């Protein structure tokens, strides 16, 4: 191969790279974050701080976890909720979760478990909506649960002995 040809090939590759990155940036810019979205930070596989500094309510959390329109945790997890007979078994039962994980570790799993396991099929309930590929129309540009709902669910989970 002549030098000229190698330079030509390198030039084409470089151009493709520039085009691809340009496209990536343009796509990311299409969608803005919801105005009420609070940034969160992961350290030691946990999110120590409550989302937006909110305090959760455990009884609301239990209702959200079993509501098929909101958390729908029951679709995949067995949960200690009275009178619930049907539940999924794709995920582990969540009884006793308080003894296995700290509050901050539970928060990361509910917010965006793919930070720990990129292959997880559990939805990131407070994942940055710009990272969700082809969400259903209802969820375009928003999180599956809002920050208060996430904190409510966590407040309930930490009571599960
Ligand atoms: C589509 C199925 C699915 C749904 C819906 C789902 N999860 Fe999960 N969840 C999983 C799977 C699978 C795992 C196991 C870890 C993994 O694969 O990421 C898991 C793991 C977890 C864990 C860590 C458990 C442990 O013992 O380490 C917590 C906590 C959790 N889920 C909470 C929730 C809550 C709360 C909801 C509802 C707001 C929910 N999940 C909804 C599938 C799901």
Ligand 1, CB within 6 Å, residue ranges:
65, 71-73, 75-77, 90-92, 94, 97, 100-101, 106, 109-110, 113, 117, 120-123, 125, 153, 157
Q: Under DSSP, is residue 6 helix (H, G, I), strand (E, B) or coil?
A: helix
Output the residue whose Cα is nearest ligand 1's atom 34: 73
26 alpha carbon – ligand 1 mean position (Å): 33
Give the whole-angstrom CA distance, residue 149 versus residue 80.
Answer: 19
Q: Which two tokens stand for residue 115?
A: 């930070």
Atom of ligand 1 nearest to the CA of 144: 38
- pTM for the predicted model, two decimal places: 0.83
Whether the CA torsion 29, 30, 33, 35 is positive or negative: it is: positive
Residue 58, CA distances (Å) to 24, 42, 55, 93, 94 in order = 40, 23, 10, 18, 15
Residues 78-106: pLDDT tens digits?
999 888 888 899 999 999 999 999 999 99
> Which of 1-15, 32-46, 131-145 is most confident?
32-46
DSSP annotation of 39 reads P
- CB 82 within 8 Å of CB 125: no
Domain 38-157 has CATH 3.30.70.20: no
Contacts for 81 with CB less than 8 Å, ≥ 6 apart = 62, 65, 66, 74
77 alpha carbon – ligand 1 mean position (Å): 7
- CB 94 within 8 Å of CB 78: yes
């Amino acid at each position: 191969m002549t030098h000229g040809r190698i330079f030509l090939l390198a030039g084409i590759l470089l151009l493709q790279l520039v085009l691809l990155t340009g496209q990536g940036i343009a796509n990311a810019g299409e969608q803005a974050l919801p105005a009420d979205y609070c940034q969160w930070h992961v350290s030691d596989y946990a999110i120590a701080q409550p989302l937006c500094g909110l305090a959760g309510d455990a009884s609301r959390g239990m209702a959200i976890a079993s509501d098929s329109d909101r958390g729908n945790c029951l679709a995949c997890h067995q949960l200690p909720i009275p009178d619930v007979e049907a539940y999924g078994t794709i995920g582990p039962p969540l009884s006793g979760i308080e003894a296995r994980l700290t509050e901050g570790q539970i928060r990361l799993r509910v917010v965006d478990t793919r930070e720990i396991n990129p292959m997880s099929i559990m939805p990131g309930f407070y994942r940055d909506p710009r990272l969700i590929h082809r969400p259903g129309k209802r969820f375009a540009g928003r999180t599956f649960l809002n920050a208060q709902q996430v904190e409510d669910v966590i407040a309930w989970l930490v009571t599960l002995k």
